[in-house]
Chains A and B, each alone.
Chain A
Amino acid sequence: MSAIRTLVDLLAGRREAAALAPREWDGVISVARAEAMLATLAHRLEGAALPPAVAALFADQRAAAAVAQAQSMWEAEMARRALASERIEFVLLKGTAYAAAGLSCAEGRQIGDLDILVLVSDIGRAENELLEAGWEWVKSDPYDDAYYREHMHELPPLIHKARDRMIDVHHTILPQTHRIAPDALSLVSDAVTTENGFAVLCPTDMACHCAAHLLADGDLQGGLRNLWDFHSLTRDFAAADPGFWGKLDARADRHGLHAPVHRAARLARDLYGSALPSGWDRHDPADLWFKRRLLARDDWGHATHFALQQAFYIRSHWLRMPPLMLSRHLWTKWRKR
């Protein structure tokens, strides 16, 4: 069995860690690292019977993830202080939000940038406050800068000059030129507050954003991690609220995200064993291509299926912008090479 299949089976609980041959761990560790899921796996297998070397490595990963998460929460606190004087409200997104809300998928989850969502009417003020508080623009290229401002769903990325950490300030969750336009106002107005005082998306919106991020906004690189988020989020929310799946259905329709949310649910079922209610538990032959893309890695952690990767890369651009604009964009980018 391929290492990436073994990784998925271990996460899903379909295979016992003790049943792995010692050398199978090589591949599992490499692909888990490549998918930024080694610490997630380390948490999933905490307490399992492991070879001593793997147990020691996993303990390192759990400790390192705890430090990284504390650093990410500190970054959120820095943003809160920067935006407090102008009373700009913001919602945490993705990894930092999962950590702030204490959700199970945050255990061991790698958190890269700080992602926040503000009302589109606040975006200019938010940028000013962050610049005053020490964040700086990364992109010096005028085309890229203008492209972000006119067409994207976020400001050009900012990096803090002292802490070297990036913040992405969003005003919605998909590019403005995307075929799907989620209801950004309700994302902010229906946000909920965590115990530590940060705003995060309400459960249904969190799942919608996760699916949109996984299936509507990229080429599925690192998709296994995002799909694990979706699997864990929906499982926990459904356990706390039996009506969750029905509410998610309605909310996904409202944001125009019916198809990505349902596909994410089916993929999570097929790979991680999510239990889906009737109405969700369907089959779509096209899911096969998504699964192949998600599992396109050899036992050395190296990406495989080059043509399939390219196809999903082109798809991500096709979804993001209308054809004429896409051709103009690619032309400009190509001339600048």
Chain B
Amino acid sequence: MRHSTRIAVGPVQFRIGSDWRAPVAVLDRLYAGYPRDDTRPADATVRLFAARPWRRWLRPSVQIGGDFVIPDALPLPLSMGLLAAEMGMNLQVALGWRRHLLLHASAVARDGRAVIMSGESGSGKSTLAALLGEDGWRLMGDEFTLIDPAGGDALAFPRAVSLKNAAIAEVAARVDTARLGPLLAGTPKGDIRHLIPRADAIAAMHEPARPALLLFPRFGGEAAIEPMGEGEAFVRLTEASTNYVALGEPGFAALTRLVRETPAFGISYPDSTTGLALVEQLFAEAVR
């Protein structure tokens, strides 16, 4: 491929190739502070390419390829090349990674104990994680949390946080603009802007954390905390995992252990301030 770069996020080494310079240039800026080992072979490959040769120049559009692809996926305009790269990277992890149980969940940690937040998009799990990451917590990731089947620890996947819509302004008000990516307006997922995690979160990305709390946030409505049984947490997390079935028995063992050892709650919150307070309160009770 004409342009390429390498990115290491948590345990995954990516190789990203592109027909255009722009997506690689913006990735290099977002991931400049991540540890880089150019001699380490890549676990996963992403290709950003023009589906037809003339689409490199004429209304350029980016097709997402790589080791794993979604058949019939629609291309994105070149201005959204960064989103294409992010989707390509997510896809390789979601479909290809087998070392850990993958949860589609955000996570933060404090004193070696992790809060894992799982929910549909729009639940606010990314926003809560991003805000906690600016407020004394170590950001572990906004998209995937990895569970080590052997020991049960949570492992981080702190890619650049994908802020969406209203969350952009809320987070942008609290961080240095140098830590923000370009605004991608009007994407199929709404407005998107990336946040580079704090340097200490990136430096600690290989440090495991013991799960302390499983949260299933829901944005909107009165503040509420609802304890959740092991069975429901288990079923919800099987749905939030992209490799639970593929892992077989080790995946089952890891997930049953996680829900048995970790208290789980559904939380509703009308605004971020309330959401953050609920997380702090439940964490304090869980680690007491």
- Chain B binds chain A: yes
Whether the pair B43, A53 counts as a contact (CB closer than 8 A) is yes
* B43: A residues at CB distance < 8 A: 29, 53, 57
Q: Which of A54, A56, A60, A300 has a CB less than 8 Å from the CB of B47?
A: A300
Any A CB within 8 A of the CB of B262:
no
* B98: A residues at CB distance < 8 A: 60-61, 63-64
Of the candidates B13, B38, B45, B96, the one having the most CB atoms from chain A within 10 angstroms of its own CB is B45
Q: Which of A23, A67, A300 has a CB less than 8 Å from the CB of B247?
A: A67
Whether the pair B41, A64 counts as a contact (CB closer than 8 A) is no
Any B CB within 8 A of the CB of A25:
yes
* A26: B residues at CB distance < 8 A: 15, 41-42, 45
Closest to A56 in B: B99
Any A CB within 8 A of the CB of B17:
yes
CA–CA, A67 to B245, complex, Å?
10
Number of interface residues of A (CB under 8 A): 24
CB within 8 Å of A: which of B40-79? 40-43, 45, 47, 49, 65-68
* B248: A residues at CB distance < 8 A: 67, 70-71
Q: Which of A23, A51, A300 has a CB less than 8 Å from the CB of B17?
A: A300
Number of interface residues of B (CB under 8 A): 26
Chain A nearest CB, measured from B286 CB (Å): 31
Any A CB within 8 A of the CB of B249:
yes
Any B CB within 8 A of the CB of A68:
yes
CA–CA, A302 to B49, complex, Å?
11
CA–CA, A266 to B169, complex, Å?
65
Whether the pair B41, A53 counts as a contact (CB closer than 8 A) is yes
Whether the pair B67, A23 counts as a contact (CB closer than 8 A) is no
* A64: B residues at CB distance < 8 A: 98, 246-247
Whether the pair A51, B40 counts as a contact (CB closer than 8 A) is yes
Chain B nearest CB, measured from A232 CB (Å): 24
CB within 8 Å of A: which of B61-117? 65-68, 96-99
CB within 8 Å of B: which of A38-87? 51, 53-54, 56-57, 60-61, 63-64, 67-68, 70-71
Whether the pair A29, B246 counts as a contact (CB closer than 8 A) is no
Whether the pair B45, A300 counts as a contact (CB closer than 8 A) is yes
CA–CA, A89 to B282, complex, Å?
59
Any A CB within 8 A of the CB of B1:
yes
Chain A nearest CB, measured from B74 CB (Å): 18
Any A CB within 8 A of the CB of B39:
yes
* A67: B residues at CB distance < 8 A: 246-250
Whether the pair A30, B45 counts as a contact (CB closer than 8 A) is yes
* B65: A residues at CB distance < 8 A: 302
CB within 8 Å of B: which of A145-185? none
Any B CB within 8 A of the CB of A22:
yes
Whether the pair B67, A30 counts as a contact (CB closer than 8 A) is yes
* B247: A residues at CB distance < 8 A: 64, 67
Whether the pair A302, B15 counts as a contact (CB closer than 8 A) is no
CA–CA, A53 to B14, complex, Å?
12
Any B CB within 8 A of the CB of A34:
yes
Any B CB within 8 A of the CB of A301:
yes
CA–CA, A51 to B40, complex, Å?
8
Known contacts A26-B41, A301-B45: A53-B13 contact under CB 8 Å:
yes
Whether the pair B246, A34 counts as a contact (CB closer than 8 A) is no
Closest to A27 in B: B45
* B49: A residues at CB distance < 8 A: 302
- 22 A-B pairs in the complex with CB atoms less than 8 angstroms apart: A22-B40, A23-B38, A23-B41, A25-B41, A26-B15, A29-B41, A29-B42, A30-B45, A33-B67, A33-B96, A51-B40, A53-B40, A53-B41, A56-B99, A57-B43, A63-B98, A64-B98, A67-B248, A68-B246, A71-B248, A301-B45, A301-B47
Having A29-B43, A64-B98, one finds 6 other A-B pairs with CB under 8 Å, namely: A26-B45, A29-B45, A33-B67, A53-B43, A57-B43, A302-B49
Q: What 5 A-B pairs come out closest when comparing CB atoms?
A: A25-B41, A67-B248, A64-B98, A22-B39, A60-B98
List the interface of chain B (C-beta within 8 A of A): 1, 13, 15, 17, 38-43, 45, 47, 49, 65-68, 96-99, 246-250
